[in-house]
Amino acid sequence: MEKEEGAFLTISELAGELGLPQHILRYWETRFPRLRPLQRSGNRRYYRPADVALARRIHQLLNVEGFTVKGAQKALEDGEAAPAPTPVAPQACVADADLLVRLREIRTTLASAIGD
């Protein structure tokens, strides 16, 4: 079952999404003070959307861009680690419009096939 955008994630869900063992997330909590999930009874961790975004960014810095833990800490403190917004190419907008038209045609075709 897929959760809605903005829902809290458990440590196992976030670890699975990032492809990491759970103990790595717990370790990051000790090294990155801003990463503080809610802890309920039995120390169950629930990551808020802001925690999830931070964990994704830490993962990007450490495992994709090759930062050390200290380097990632510094980058996050300096604000340099914020991902740059990806510009949308004008062709992408046109392609999306074409796709939407095509999907509407398919829906109309399917509706008429079911109605017959």
What is the pLDDT confidence band of residue 21, given thresholds at 50, 70 and 90? Answer: very high
Query: Taking 50 as the threshold, does the pLDDT of residue 115 lie above it?
Result: yes
Tell me, yes or no, if the pTM score tops 0.85. no
The 10s digit of each residue's pLDDT in 55-84 is 999 999 999 999 999 999 999 888 754 554
Given a cut of 70, whether residue 89 has pLDDT beyond it is no
Higher pLDDT, 116 or 16: 16
Q: State the pLDDT at residue 1.
A: 46
Domain 1-84 architecture: Orthogonal Bundle (1.10)
In the chain, which residue ranges form alpha helices assigned H by DSSP?
Answer: 11-18, 22-31, 49-59, 69-78, 90-115
Rounded distance, CA 90 to CA 70, Å? 39
